[in-house]
Amino acid sequence: MRNNHVISVLAKKRSRNLKIMGALSLISFIFFAYLPGESQDVTFNFVLGDEWVIIQSWIIGSKIGAYSFSALSVLFLALAFLQARKGKKLGASALAYCLSVFIAFMCWAAAGAAISVTGLLQGGLFLAIPLVFGSLSGLICERSGVINIAIEGQLLAGAFAAGVVGSLTQNVWAGLLVAPLAGALISLLLATFAIKYAVDQVILGFVINVLVIGLTSFASQRILTTDAARWNSSPIFSTIQIPILSKIPLVGPIFFSQTIIVYMLYVIVAIIQITLFKSKWGLRMRAVGELPVAAESVGIDVNKVRFRNVLIAGLVAGLGGAFFTVGSSGAFSRQMTAGMGFIALAALIFGKWTPLGAVAAALLFGFADQLRTVLSITGTPIPSEFMVMVPYIVTIIAVSGFVGKVRAPASDGIPYKRGGSH
């Protein structure tokens, strides 16, 4: 009975998703292909440097491109429909569908211009780096049952510490070393008040952000700007070309021509994905986040596990903060994280509180941001302000359950008292 119910809910969700996809294809046909006036050539470039194989640029008329890729999207939609009827998952065909609609969109948005696809993807990854670090910090906290709105503060603290220490020592490694510690310090504040004093975690995270923004801005104004040569001129990491891999066409320049911080990120993502689902640490984390009473009944000290994990989360976000200073610009400026912590939170939620989901969402948001920059240079019919809104809008859609309901860990944000009453 229950099983049938689950299946029917899934089928319902699928049929709704298919309807949304159909509507999108229609929009694609009308707005990207039919309505625009004259067709102009769009050029897609794929080469950035000295890759082994030089992929030829691809030039296509904007109208013909939009028409063909809208048509292709309908084809993938039909495929998805057939799969749905057999009760299979839509993964691959849905992805191909999204890609076709996106290319149709690009034909319209970039009509008459040249787009460097490799550059676009590379820039997208660059912008996504702090988002990935931030969302992983949020993931570790929230999977353990502590809401983390303070990602912004953790990133900012990491950026500040790395910038200042990097400047004073003129050593990037010293900066990279203190950044996680600064993030963990913010986590210590979060953990103490959330776990020990059971303060509402949303309020707490909000206040911690104000505190960190205040302290770093104050120090920046009072100390850093008075003697910038001494306090605010950190050297930065140079990019490391990974031999062989960095020469792979398309993939190489995007993933394997980055700074050490990005390579560390790859490792951290892999570690978190594996340990969360395959290790004792991960099992305990999920246990105290979902059903702390059960965890305690088998002898786990719930609050100790939570405390430790919040600190680890701070380390991760702090390291991400280093990206802003020693990883890219070198100098710290006031509020330089510019709300990235909140987009990271959005990525975590949009990624349904899973590591790979959060990473994918962060990459998507970073890509959307880069696309906005690129399109605002080439000129496009959509105002750039609306493109900035994309991550925020999709997050609202996600939490409203329009495209598959997202669910937070069951005990996320609820302080735990021994014995299970809260």
**Positions in the binding site for other proteins (CB under 8 A):** 142, 147, 149, 193, 196-204, 206-208, 210-211, 213-215, 217-219, 221-223, 226, 334, 339, 342, 345-346, 349, 383, 385-386, 388-389, 392-393, 395-396, 399-402, 407-415
Q: Which is nearer to other proteins, 252 or 391 (CB)?
A: 391
| Residue 40: CB minimum distance to other proteins, A | 25
Query: Residue 410 — φ and ψ, nearest 5°?
Result: -55, -35
210-213 long-range CB contacts below 8 Å, 24 or more apart?
211/153, 212/150, 212/152, 212/153, 212/154, 212/156, 212/157, 212/186, 213/152, 213/153, 213/156, 213/335
Three-state DSSP class for 332?
coil
Q: Which is nearer to other proteins, 44 or 342 (CB)?
A: 342
Q: Which amino acid would we find at residue 230?
A: R
Q: Which is nearer to other proteins, 91 or 339 (CB)?
A: 339
CA-closest candidate to residue 304, choices 193, 154, 195, 183: 195
Whole-number minimum distance, CB 230 to other proteins, in Å? Answer: 12
Do 212 and 157 contact (CB within 8 A), yes or no? yes
Nearest to 348 by CA among 136, 86, 112: 136
Residue 3 C-beta: closest distance to other proteins, Å: 24
- Shortest separation between residue 224's beta carbon and other proteins, angstroms: 11
Q: How far is the CB of 399 from other proteins (least distance, A)?
A: 4
Distance set, CA 104 to CA 188, 248, 251 (Å): 48, 27, 23
Strands 257-258 and 58-61: unpaired
Q: How far is the CB of 167 from other proteins (least distance, A)?
A: 16
Element of type H or E holding 273: helix 260-278
Of the two residues 57 and 192, which places its CB atom closer to other proteins in the complex?
192
User: First and final CA of the chain: distance in angstroms?
Assistant: 34
Find the angle CA(315)-CA(321)-CA(414) to the nearest 5 degrees: 50
**CA dist list (Å): 411 to 81, 206, 355:** 37, 20, 18
How far apart are the C-alpha atoms of 397 and 136, rounded to whole Å? 21
Residue with smaller CB distance to other proteins, 259 or 309: 309
Tokens of residue 178, six digits:
């203190």
Smallest distance from other proteins to CB 221, Å = 4
Nearer to other proteins, 89 or 417 (CB): 417
For the CB of residue 208, give the shortest distance to other proteins in the complex, in Å: 7
CB of 407 or CB of 418, closer to other proteins: 407
Question: Token pair of 173, please?
Answer: 């490694």
Choose between 261 and 287: whose C-beta lies nearer to other proteins. 287
